Amino acid sequence: MKKIATMFVLLALALPAVVAQEAENEAPQEKQQRNPGEVQTLFDPHSGSGGYGAFSVGYTKINGRDAIIMGGRGEWVVGHGFGLGMGGYGFVNDPIYNVVDELNYSLAGGYGGLIMEPILFGWFPVHLSFPILIGAGGVASTSYSSDWYDSYEYWDGYLEAATAFFVAEAGVELEFNLVRFFRLSLFGTYRYTSDIIMENTPTDALRSWNVGMTFKFGSF
């Protein structure tokens, strides 16, 4: 029994040296196979570049009132460091009730255009990107009765006014490489538009910050 115990002790003492020697022998080969630009993820490694499709959901202010913004984009990613593509977003804000005419008023619309996205250290599992959108859009003022649904009558909705605008939006995304085909990012952007020319609507009604989440699927 003592001999067996002694053998196990000797093996335990020798094992670290054997493992270290094996690691030293294999290190040059692994070093040759490792790609310096290999994308690292939180759960598995991946290398390469390509493109992706994404959808976003977020919160913003439209005409000083809470609003939801949703949309999507598609991009070609070059060398893990720059994305180029197109995207579009839609929005609608909380309605405000007018006691005089007994109608709810809200602003709704959308915009889209060219997206350029510099990506900083995109091969790291957590990194930053800086999406920039330049394009155009449209917004409309709508009104409807306080009764959204009546089983005996059609819903009364009216288009009060509409106009087009130029838009430029830029911001930052904190991006997480979860797996090789999926990334999740938290974003904060600022939307600048040309003056909105509509009755009873401020010219800067659409200029505001946006915050939210983006879900990206593809080959990065």
Mean pLDDT score, 63-81: 93
**pLDDT-based confidence at residue 33 (cuts at 50, 70, 90):** very low
CATH number of the domain located at residue range(s) 51-218 in this protein:
2.40.160.20
pLDDT at 57 over 60: yes
**pLDDT-based confidence at residue 12 (cuts at 50, 70, 90):** very low
Mean pLDDT score, 52-69: 96
Distances (CA, A) of 129 to 123, 171, 174, 216: 12, 9, 7, 13
Q: Write down the pLDDT at residue 147.
A: 56
Mean pLDDT score, 7-12: 38
Mean pLDDT score, 159-171: 94
Say which DSSP state 22 is in: H
**pLDDT-based confidence at residue 156 (cuts at 50, 70, 90):** low
pLDDT at 217 over 90: yes
End-to-end CA distance of the chain: 58
pTM, two decimals, is 0.73
Mean pLDDT score, 179-195: 96
Where do the structural domains in the chain lie, given as residue ranges? 1-34, 51-218
Burial of 198 (0-12, 13-18, 19+ CB in 10 A): middle
